[in-house]
Chains A and B, each alone.
Chain A
Amino acid sequence: MNSNYKEPKVNKSNRKRLIIWFFVPLVILISTGFYLLLETDFFTVNIKEETLVDENNIDDFDKIENGIHVQTGFVDAPGLLETVRNCTSCHSSQLVLQNRMNKERWTATIKWMQETQNLWDLGENEAIIVNYLATNYPPKETGRRKNLDTIDWYVLEE
């Protein structure tokens, strides 16, 4: 049934298509339940409106707010563009943002991705990217155990 299906590239409009396919098996699971619960016109009513996907997001791709690249969450600093272009096509920016490494270890991570995860040769961008990451996302000394932080205090009622 799906032999002509082409893997979508991940950008805004194709992501919507990806979600359709992503959803198919999941929705098969829940659809019977939904069908029983909901009136059958539920779906048709919405479809008649033929709403188009909002395309404004595409224009916002380069938007920077408070020093942060809104689309990815990366800090706006030299090397941002090269980092976004090369480091977010397979995995999300969140995977980068969670990590803290020095130059040597960011370089080793790139090498590991090139050897095992299909990352391409970054050429002269490698130094720019490593510098961007090591400058903006360096390791912090946290000792053997940190204090408990970010506690939301609340009154416990039993």
Chain B
Amino acid sequence: MERRKFISKSVLVAMTGAIGVEIVYGLKLPETYIPLALQNPNPFELFKKDKEMVLLNERPWNMEAQAHLLDDRITPNKYMFIRNNGLVPENINAENWSLTIKGESVLKEKTYTLAELKSKFKHYTYQLTLECGGNGRSEFNPPAKGNQWNVGAVSCAEWTGVRMRDVLEDIGIKNDAVYIGYHAIDLHLSRDPNKTPISRGAPMSKVLQDETLLAFQMNGADIPLVHGYPLRLVAGGWPASVSGKWLEGISVRNKVHDGAKMTGTAYRVPCNTVAPGEKVADKDMCIIESMPVKSLITYPKTGAMITDGEKLNIRGHAWAGELEVAKMEYSIDFGATWKTCSLEKPVNRLAWQHFNAQITFPKKGYYEIWSRATDSKGTAQPMLIPGWNPKGYLNNACQRIAIKVT
């Protein structure tokens, strides 16, 4: 059997390192055999995700939560959506990891090791809402191209890192700086090393905010591999693609960053609204910045049946990109009347806010509970699908769950 090749010593060393114990008789392993500890094609186990998460795509890995899985105040890894443009890096050595800051608008290029970043700058921890720009895409008509996200490409985890601003102050930037772009080590789907899966960024006004972090921890532990280990940019409230994973470089640019997925139609919407299905020239597409106001009922799970006379407690989260949510309401009569929910202030800026309400139903029947958040500028979630756009971004239509009173 020609397939029965034996694995090389270097591969064995890597496997041993990964497992943490010596593999006895390791050099007699057939090449195609993988020790049980490494044998795991199941993405739910691979990334430690809950089995109720929904797998949209296995190459690249894309997975989302269902509304009821996002009930925690701080999203744990097992319920955090995965959005990848390229392939997850295959070998990472955090001990040798470094970040190089370069570009037209730095005074002098500088490289920090990960250890230096951690020791030289003060650490900050914030709860930050990260939502995929295409969350809700599946509802657009005509359908928009790409992963057909439902409601679950959103999370609010606790991120710990150093402020991007502190690092840029240390290195010194020129007055003409307008944007940063990130550079990461993930591989393009075509496996062409000269192609970049994604290299996005943000304008200086966002970069210099207190909450914009170079993060190395999520929920008090090293960031999970699939979420950007060992170093990730985290810019809450903006499309999560701004929060680049597996960072090895930052360019400080004297113009809007022009990396992969910054140009063309990627993460852009028509500068002026268009009719559903209308063609839009690239020059008429504008970069998405803050995400819009939105909310999610995370309890109960849709489909609950209760008995007539029972009260129903609902709860969930609301967020509004750069803004705060000022008001939270629900309707049980298809939007005809609205009642106010109790709404908490955010733990910190850019964290999602928690709401709850107790509902009394007037009689038996089929109901939908609709949730509607209003931001601090008075803008509310629409009940129908908002303005159509070619790539299906920014669907913040009110969420609906179905209830039967019997």
Chain B residue with minimal CB distance to A33?
Answer: B20
Partner of A105, one of B29, B46, B145: B145
Within 8 A of A (CB), among B204-221: none
Task: Give the residue of A26, A55, A99 whose beta carbon is less than 8 angstroms from that of B146.
Answer: A99
Q: Are B34 and A26 in contact (CB under 8 A)?
A: no
Could you say which of B36-44, B163-171, B172-180 contacts chain A? Answer: B36-44
Number of interface residues, chain B, beta carbon within 8 A: 82
B304 pairs with A24, CB closer than 8 A: no
Evaluate whether A117 and B143 lie within 8 angstroms (CB atoms) in the complex, with A26-B46, A145-B385, A156-B304 already known. Answer: no
Q: Is there an interface contact between B3 and A145, defined as CB atoms closer than 8 Å?
A: no
* 1/0 contact string of B170-192 vs chain A (CB within 8 Å): 00000000000000000111111
Chain A residues closer than 8 Å to B402, beta-carbon distance: 148, 151
Least CB distance, A59 to chain B, in whole angstroms: 14
Closest to B260 in A: A116
| B147–chain A nearest beta-carbon distance, Å | 6
Which segment, of A8-16, A62-70, A75-83, faces chain B?
Answer: A8-16
Given A43-B37, A52-B32, A143-B141: A90 in contact with B189 (beta carbons within 8 A): yes
A124 within 8 A of B: no
Q: How far is the CA of A31 from the CA of B225 in the complex (A)?
A: 14
Q: A27-B18, A145-B139 known; A13 and B148 CB under 8 Å?
A: no
- Tell whether, in the assembled complex, residue A1 and residue B10 are in contact, meaning their CB atoms are under 8 Å apart: yes
Smallest CB gap from A30: residue in B = B48
Task: Given the known inter-chain contacts A118-B188, A148-B402, please indicate yes or no for A55 contacting B20, CB distance below 8 A.
Answer: no
Pairwise interchain contact A92-B57, C-beta atoms closer than 8 A: yes
Given A48-B25, A100-B143, A144-B384, CB of A156 within 8 Å of CB of B189: no
Among B28, B57, B145, B224, which residue has its beta carbon within 8 angstroms of that of A50? B28
Known: A47-B24, A90-B189, A92-B58. A2 touches B14 (CB 8 A): yes
Tell me if B18 and A153 are in contact (CB < 8 A).
Answer: no
With A92-B57, A151-B303 already in contact, the answer to whether A24 and B91 are too (CB < 8 A) is yes
Question: Using a CB-CB cutoff of 8 Å, which residues 108-129 of chain A contact chain B?
Answer: 109, 116-118
Instruction: Give the residues in chain A near B74, CB-CB below 8 Å.
Output: none
Interface members, chain B 18-61 (any A CB < 8 Å): 18-21, 23-26, 28-41, 46, 55-60
CA A94 to CA B58, docked complex, whole Å:
7
Residues of B within 8 A of A46 (CB): 35-36
Contact B148 A28 (CB under 8 A): no
The residue that B18 contacts in the complex, of A17, A28, A50, with Cβ under 8 A, is: A28
Please determine whether B28 and A155 come into contact, CB atoms closer than 8 angstroms. Answer: no
Instruction: Select the residue from B60, B92, B190 with max chain A CB neighbours within 10 A.
Output: B190
Closest partner residue, chain A, to B37 (CB atom) = A43
B305 at the interface (CB under 8 A from A): yes
**B400: A residues at CB distance < 8 A:** 148
The reply on B313 being an interface residue by CB < 8 A is yes
In this complex, the member of B24, B90, B402 whose beta carbon has the largest number of chain A beta carbons within 10 angstroms is B90
Determine the residue in chain B with the shortest Cβ distance to A2. Answer: B91
How far, in angstroms, from A105 to B60 measured CA to CA in the complex? Answer: 22
CB distance from A25 to the nearest CB of B (A): 4
Is A56 in contact with chain B by the CB < 8 A criterion? no
Q: Quick check: B20 and A35 within 8 Å, CB to CB?
A: yes
B123 at the interface (CB under 8 A from A): no
Interface centre among B37, B195, B300 (most CB of A within 10 A): B37
Q: Verify A16–B34 contact, CB threshold 8 A.
A: yes
Instruction: State A43–B404 Cα separation when bound (angstroms).
Output: 51
A94 near B56 with CB under 8 A, answer: yes
Contact partner of B17 (CB less than 8 A), chosen from A28, A92, A158, is: A28
Which single member of B23, B301, B310 contacts A47 (CB below 8 Å)?
Answer: B23
Contact among A15, A145, A156 with B384 in the assembled complex (CB-CB below 8 Å):
A145
| CB of B302 within 8 Å of the partner chain | yes
Question: Nearest chain-B residue to A27 (Cβ)?
Answer: B18
Interface residues of A in 31-45 (CB under 8 A from B): 31-32, 34-35, 40, 43-44
Looking at the complex, which one of B3, B17, B91 makes contact with A21 (CB distance below 8 Å)?
A: B91
A23 within 8 A of B: yes
A105 to B145 alpha-carbon distance, docked (Å): 9
B225 to A98, Cβ gap below 8 A? Answer: no
Select from chain B the residue with minimum beta-carbon distance to A3: B10
Can you give 14 A-B contacts (C-beta < 8 A)? A1-B13, A7-B191, A13-B32, A21-B91, A24-B14, A35-B19, A43-B19, A43-B36, A53-B34, A105-B145, A140-B143, A142-B139, A144-B141, A148-B401
| CB-based closest 9 A-B pairs | A118-B190, A156-B304, A31-B20, A27-B18, A92-B59, A21-B90, A25-B92, A90-B189, A44-B24
